[in-house]
Amino acid sequence: MQNNWIRFVRGCLVIKVGGDYLERFFNMCRAHDIYLWGIKREDNECICSIYASDFSRLVPLLKKTGTKAKVVSKRGVPFLIPFMKKRIIFFAGVILCLIMLNIVTGYVWAIEYVGNLQVSDNELTDFLEQQGIHYGMKKSSIDCEEKEKRLREAFPVVTWTSVYFEGTKLYIEVKENEKSEPKVEKTKGTDIVATDNGVITSIITRNGVPMVKAGDAVKKDQVIVEGKVPVYNEEQLISDYQIYDADADIKIRTTMAYNDELSCSHPVLYPTGNDVDTVFLEVFGYHFDGMFFHDLFRRNQTGSYRTTMQRHQLVLLDNIFLPVYYGRIDRKEYYLRYLVYTQEEMEHILSDNLEKFISGLEEKGVQIVEKNVKIVENRNSMKMQGEIAVIKPTGKSVDIAPVENETVGE
């Protein structure tokens, strides 16, 4: 192996020697310390190898022995140098790329989270930022074991962590314990109060004492169901209260104000057809694309356009993510004009908006009883306003005040 390496560095020739005095020729080469190897003899010819630097020393020996030598092939570094000189820019570029690749692979250019369900990606990203971990930092500056410990301390739900590298990507792998039910703290009890003014249409109480019945009128924030339940003694007097979280299904008939306004003029986008589709390249945060040259040679520019971008990161060998992004930019130019609705169009749009509003209420379980709306036309707009009578769920829970024991009939 060592001899082969020396021969490659010094350079060697494969030559074909022919003549009637080959034995004499080889004896003279031996006497002059000219090293030949790989000798294969065929009749009056021999094929052998010789160092390139010794080939010129064969000339006087060839003359004395009357033999001839022909170079069959050349091997080694001395014969590669002229080839490399002609392509010096190419080889310099290859060497530079290898040096840059070696430098870039020492940094983090992608982060991926694995196994997180209860802890969101955004929460993990915020955690890494607090720990000073970000794109473009040296991998050697990240203590994986320490970050694993900090991660478990920051998120109690995480039972196991693993922080490791694959190429230039940093993996944050976690395992979480089974999602436990949240602890329910003992409350001081809650009442249910009305969220609207109106008339109660139905009430079904599961916990607490109802303070109203169907058909009663109530006001907003009025207590409908109390969470304190009185306890009576043998004399049917209130001796104490038991505190609960009031629970009930309550529906109320009430009115909702409706107001929708539509301007007479509205913007419309018209494409000009001057669309641009070009490629772009981002290297270490520096962006290059063809939009500059397109705008440079374009005379009439409206300055109004919509842009969409397809962006990809350069990846080598599946796990070496580089700080190089490429993709396409699609820019569609348009100009803006304002058109005026006709009266019929405005009435139709306002009616559609009302139907959409009603459909949204019905999806939430609200029953529409009556619509009392009207259209009002102004100078520059048209309004639809009025009231809508509905039957809807009502009631929200509020904490009740501390209860003191009461005694009646003393």
DSSP code per residue over 47-100:
EEEEEGGGGGGHHHHHHHHT-EEEEEEEESHHHHHHHHHHTHHHHHHHHHHHHH
3-state class (DSSP) for residue 403: coil
The residue range of the domain holding 126 is 110-176
pLDDT of residue 296: 66
Clarify whether residues 246 and 277 are in a common domain: no
Copy the structure tokens of residue 210. 């109802």
Whether 408 is covered by a domain: the verdict is no
Tell me the HSE value of 173 on the side-chain side, using a 13 A CA sphere: 7
Clarify whether residues 299 and 228 are in a common domain: no
Strand partners, 252: 200, 392
Domain boundary among 234, 254, 274: 254
User: How, if at all, do strands 198-207 and 110-114 pair?
Assistant: unpaired
Whether 36 is covered by a domain: the verdict is yes
pLDDT of residue 386: 92
The full 3-state SS of 23-61, as one line of letters, equals HHHHHHHHHCCCCEEEEEEECCEEEEEEEHHHHHHHHHH
Highest mean pLDDT among 41-50, 146-155, 192-201: 192-201
pLDDT of residue 187: 54
Q: Which residue has the higher pLDDT, 268 or 2?
A: 268
Number of domains the chain is built from: 4
pTM, two decimal places = 0.47
Q: Model confidence over 238-255: pLDDT tens digits?
A: 778 788 888 999 999 999
Q: Which helix (H) or strand (E) holds 126?
A: helix 121-130
At residue 205, φ and ψ (nearest 5 deg) are -100, 130
As a whole number of angstroms, the longest Cα–Cα distance in the chain is: 149
Clarify whether residues 275 and 244 are in a common domain: no
Domain boundary among 225, 254, 283: 254
Clarify whether residues 118 and 152 are in a common domain: yes
CA 234 to chain centre: 69
Which CATH number fits the domain that encloses residue 150? 3.10.20.310
Crossing angle (nearest 10°) for helices 121-130 and 144-154: 120
pLDDT of residue 111: 87
Residue 98 — very low, low, confident or very high, per pLDDT cuts 50/70/90? confident
Nearest to residue 62, comparing CAs of 25, 14, 36? 25
pLDDT of residue 169: 86
Residue 180 has pLDDT above 70, yes or no: no
User: How, if at all, do strands 198-207 and 190-193 pair?
Assistant: unpaired
Q: Model confidence over 330-369: pLDDT tens digits?
A: 888 888 888 888 889 999 999 999 999 999 999 988 999 9
Clarify whether residues 49 and 117 are in a common domain: no
Domain boundary among 231, 254, 277: 254
Clarify whether residues 61 and 128 are in a common domain: no
Average pLDDT over residues 221-237: 85
Decide: 197 and 216 in contact? Cβ < 8 Å. no
Average pLDDT over residues 69-82: 84
Tell me the HSE value of 279 on the side-chain side, using a 13 A CA sphere: 5
Residue 45 — very low, low, confident or very high, per pLDDT cuts 50/70/90? confident
Clarify whether residues 280 and 210 are in a common domain: no
The overall average pLDDT reported for the chain is 84
pLDDT of residue 298: 64
DSSP letters spanning 345-386: HHHHHHHHHHHHHHHHHHHTTPEEEEEEEEEEE-SSEEEEEE
pLDDT of residue 39: 87
pLDDT of residue 307: 85
Which CATH number fits the domain that encloses residue 60? 3.30.70.260
pLDDT of residue 349: 92
Residue 181 has pLDDT above 70, yes or no: no
Q: Which residue has the higher pLDDT, 86 or 284?
A: 284
Taking the CA atoms of the chain, what radius of gyration do you get in angstroms? 45
Highest mean pLDDT among 106-115, 177-186, 202-211: 202-211
- The proportion of the chain whose per-residue pLDDT surpasses 90, expressed as a percent, equals 20
Whether 218 is covered by a domain: the verdict is yes
Decide: 174 and 164 in contact? Cβ < 8 Å. no
Residue 389 — very low, low, confident or very high, per pLDDT cuts 50/70/90? very high
Copy the structure tokens of residue 301. 């520019």
